[in-house]
Amino acid sequence: MNDQQPRAGRPGLAHPPGAKSSPTLEDLAAAAGVSRSTASRAINGGSRVSPEAQAAVDAAVVALAYTPNRAARSLVTRRTASIALVIPEPDMRVMMDPFFAMVITGVTESLRETDVQLVLLMSRSDDAARTVRYLRGGHVDGAIVVSHHQGDTWVGPLAESGLPIIFIGRPWQSRHGLTYVDTDNYGGGTQAAQHLLAAGSRRPATIAGPADMTAAVDRLRGWQDGLRDAGAAPSPVEFADFTTVGAAEATRRLLDAAPGTDAIFAASDLMAVGVLEVLRSRGLRVPDDVAVVGYDNHSIAALASPALSTITQPMVEMATKAGAMLLEEIEAPGTHPDPVVYPAELVVRSSSAPRAAATKA
């Protein structure tokens, strides 16, 4: 008899009606009319299962309300059905920044049609060793890392452990063959420079992000090259930490050092909000006196006053893609999906209206 074909005449359930025991794999196989091994392969997505046998097992799963024994499956597959989202940032920043909420939303979306669970690890520099021990201890099948800093020395040893890893944002340690999902940060910085110059700015400046993060470095480099390629002089630069408070402090320093500034590119929308607050407190009108462009296109950009021009970073889509790539690597150990980089797109709103338009308004 072909072991993959449903077998007729087998009893349906090993347990009598009304029994409280959960149906076993043997019960499932009996109800489907297939062998235990075929039932196991069918529910685990294995190969060598005929379409007829797969359909019979699927129907039996529904009829019996069968739930696989996760512990037994993990012994066979050596998988935990869990992945980690590693965020090496202080807890408070993770809770306050909408960027991370969008990342969690996107990764969760990538797992919607699976049984894989998400484990959130907010790993600070002082507990990095504990994070590495956890990740290398067989508790998860892979990890997604977001908001990576240059000083995160645990990345190399973790990558060398063989654990599948996908970064959101280009990692510093390219020598480990790590793959990632990112946006064209360099192109976004270039577009911001070109837009503000075209809008009439003659004394632009920028509030850059942390110099130990690749996104901030690439955006700043794109900004500087955009100015240079347009024949403009290098602009003043102040650094902040991707927070509203940090950007407000940096904006005060910037305006004190360069009071004639007539445009500011902030490397994130949260920082742009801090820029707007300081400009307002100093009686400077936006965009009449100082035009402003942010980066991310968070919901706060459209709700800001005035509405904020910004560079789009499709975080939910990027995080969903990162989750799908990680699942792909887990299913095919040793493979590494190619990096995915989303194009930068400028969204123009009233905070950077051309000078002539602002004057008429």
Q: How many Å apart are CA 292 and CA 273, to the nearest integer?
A: 10
Assign domain 185-313+346-360 to a CATH class. Answer: alpha beta
Q: Is the pLDDT of residue 314 over 90?
A: yes
Looking at residue 6, the DSSP 8-state letter turns out to be P
* Cβ neighbourhood burial of 319 (10 Å; 0-12, 13-18, 19+): buried
Higher pLDDT, 79 or 248: 248
Q: How many Å apart are CA 190 and CA 343, to the nearest integer?
A: 12
- Is the preceding peptide bond at 343 cis, omega within 30 degrees of 0? no
Side-chain-side CA neighbours of 62 within 13 Å: the count stands at 5
* Residue located via tokens 């067989």: 138
**In this structure, are residues 103 and 168 in contact, taking their beta carbons and an 8 Å threshold?**
yes
| Mean pLDDT for the stretch of residues 318-326 | 96
Name residue 114's amino acid.
T
Taking CA atoms, 185 is separated from 85, 237, 263, 343, in Å, by 22, 17, 19, 9
Domain borders along the chain are: 1-77, 82-182+315-341, 185-313+346-360
- Name the CATH superfamily for 82-182+315-341: Response regulator (3.40.50.2300)
DSSP characters for 18-59?
Answer: T--SPP-HHHHHHHHTS-HHHHHHHHTT-SS--HHHHHHHHH
Q: How many angstroms separate the most distant Cα atoms in the chain?
A: 88
**In this structure, are residues 218 and 315 in contact, taking their beta carbons and an 8 Å threshold?**
no
Assign domain 1-77 to a CATH class. Answer: mainly alpha
pLDDT, one tens digit per residue, over 208-230 is: 999 999 999 999 999 999 999 99
Same fold for the domain at 82-182+315-341 and the one at 185-313+346-360? yes
| Mean pLDDT for the stretch of residues 189-193 | 98
Question: What percent of the chain is modeled with pLDDT above 90?
Answer: 56
What tokens appear for 153 in the block? 């020395």
Q: Is the pLDDT of residue 83 over 50?
A: yes
Q: How many Å apart are CA 297 and CA 301, to the nearest integer?
A: 6
pLDDT, one tens digit per residue, over 231-287 is: 999 999 999 999 999 999 999 999 999 999 999 999 999 999 999 999 999 999 999
Q: Is the pLDDT of residue 207 over 80?
A: yes
